[in-house]
Structure 1
Amino acid sequence: MSSLAAARADNFYYPPDWNPNTGTGETSKLGSKKAKNGSLGHRANKTSQGVLTIRFEMPFNVWCDGCNHLIAKGVRFNAEKRQHGSYFSTKIWSFVMRSPCCSTEIEVRTDPKSCDYIVVRGARRKVEEYEAEDAGTAVLTVGEGGDSAAANPFARLENGEIDRAKAMGERERLTAMRMDSDRKQRDDYVANKALRRRLRGVRKEAKALDSHRQRLGLHSSVKLLPHNAEDDLLASATQFDTDWRFRRNAEHSRWGLGSQEALRGGAAAGRKDEGI
């Protein structure tokens, strides 16, 4: 019976260099690595130094100090992970990697205190500032002594009064919005029917404009707009002066002929006087 047939028979397959003490073969190079490092393989070659090679994803945009190249957020590296102290009972992890542009060593550490990452060396974090109003986020109120409003009882009381006044002012608007939402969702079949009717009208109008474009012999990239009475009025009031150059030349020629006749008449009168 072949080895494959034996594996089918008892669902177990043992290679020829199987060693029950280590769980794998020792003759092959790959087998010896697996026997030494387990399933981690070459990623655990430095476990004796407390280093484990992992895939690390850059948590934010950074500038490389070696070549000033921008490393975008989400770029992945083969980083060496090691412990670098603790914050109370939380471990601080350090990740060392090389930049893909100039092979500069970049070290990033976890910051459990602020729940963030910090760049220790090799790069600098890209500062991205924005206004809270432009981003549509709430502005956190900070007291005079640097404490937040949540830690100041008087500030918390004042903010509570402001929030209640704002809620009373927005109650009517919220009620109107809720009633409008209930009215629209009361009969979804009627709303869907009205929407489909409006879309059919839009498609019909677009088809008519496309047919008119084809009759005019225009290219498919030209998009005609719907008919507008104001456009008709403006078009009828517009006059195109196409023969202005002809009229200008005619007037110039007429002026030249008139000047020549005046000169000719003066010369004839002079000759007549000489004859007299």
Structure 2
Amino acid sequence: MQGFNKYYPPDFDPDKHGSLNSYRGKHALGDRARKLDQGILITRFELPFNIWCGHCEAHIGMGVRYNAEKRKVGSYYSTPIYAFRCKCHLCGGWFEIQTDPKSTRYVVTEGARQKQEDWDPEENGGFAVHDTDKAATPTDPLAALEKTTSAQTHMTQVQMPRIEELQSFSEQRSADPYTLSVKVRKRFREQKKVDRALQRADEELKGRYGLPESMSLVRDDEESRKAAKEEWERARRQEELRDKESLKKRRIGAAVGTMPVSLASKSRISKQHSSSSSPVISSLRARILENTARHSSLKPHR
């Protein structure tokens, strides 16, 4: 029995046995390490893709787990390549899957075949995701440019002097931090005195004219005078435009007020003209009726 508790038998000797596992004659991994002398470790392995068993031709879905025999079969540079040997749960046949560090995937080596469900980008006008062939890859223009003589000349004549200049400037600024701190604090104290004097002047002005304390006063300097003058000029131009518009409206109103008188006079003239011309129209109508009656009496009867 493997010892998992903290009970130590009376005949247990740490110098002789070392641990409870060695005292019991068991490995720390238990039955999983029964083939450890052959370089095989029993581990739980989950199928990374769908496969068909090569012995019974049965389909085994992705995600099915097996107690696989894990062993090292090689290396890709410094990355080990492991093989997982599993027994089919349907027929008892063995199949093996290995890791492929070069392509970062799993490969079925024997006893089964993988169901091809991968999308091939090369067949669809794309590029391979894992392309380790350096000869087939296009050359990087930036990498090629770095190796040219002009790039090296630019680095030695422009970049390196600039880096050295920045480094010397940084060393100069950080060489004497006490002196720099004294200068900064002195400037801060002087500015603080000026700010306090301006604050006292503002408070005195607010108290003299009864202004609210929340009001912020503008500093009396050249920039403030210039801004105030520009604001005054802008307001004056707006006032002139408003005066011109109001004058124009008054003129239009005066012109509109005289229009009804002229219209009334025109209507009276038209009425007089119609009354004076009414006898002429009546005589013309009588003459037309007389001619029509005469013409109808002269027509022959059939």
Structure number, greater radius of gyration = 2
Fold shared, TM-score > 0.5 on shorter chain: no
Q: TM-score range by the shorter chain?
A: 0.3 to 0.5
Q: TM-score, normalised by structure 1?
A: 0.40
Q: TM-score, normalised by structure 2?
A: 0.37
